[in-house]
Amino acid sequence: MDELDSAIVRLLQTDARQSNRELARQLGIAPSTCLERVRALTRKGVIRGYHADIDPAALNRGVQAMVSVQVRPLSRAVINAFKSSAAAMPEVMSVYVLSGGDDFLLHVGVRDLDHLHGFLLDRLSKRKEIVGWRTSMIFQQVREVAPERLPET
């Protein structure tokens, strides 16, 4: 990635709905050049898609938490089964497979604390492979921005 590619990624992270013509205007390049660069970034897998930024509270997910989960036995079958099961739970917004003391991190969004408590007791505590979990409430989220350019190695 060069400086132009980095600028394209940065601008698309700010507003992915802008037209190619507007993007090219902001960069000071021809629309055809801009379009080819965006297509190349997509082919390389740098741009994986375009997403709407949704307010979780507007979807009755105003209470969010990160739930660290440990499963046993540690095997590919158990990890894959739990990963699929957790991803299918309507309360789970994201599933992360981890190394270290915890095996999974679940980003959970629910209506209120009673629903979070119910999720933990009715969903997680009934799973035989789960040997422990810790819940951390999310008070605020600062929008994460993926790095548009990694340091040279």
In which domain, by residue range, is 28 found?
A: 3-43
Evaluate whether 1 touches 46 at the Cβ level (below 8 Å): yes
Alpha-carbon distance of 5 to 22, in angstroms, equals 16
Report the CATH number at residue 21. 1.10.10.10
Q: Flag whether 144 is in a domain.
A: no
Domain count, the chain: 2
Which residue's structure tokens are 């959970």? 108
The whole-chain average pLDDT of the chain stands at 93
The percent of residues above 70 in pLDDT, for the chain, comes to 93
pLDDT of residue 153: 43
C-alpha torsion angle, residues 74, 75, 78, 81 (rounded to 10): 130
> Same domain, yes or no, for 68 and 29?
no
Quote the tokens at residue 51.
């997403």
Q: 22 versus 141: which is more confidently predicted?
A: 22
* Confidence bin at 51 (pLDDT 50/70/90): confident
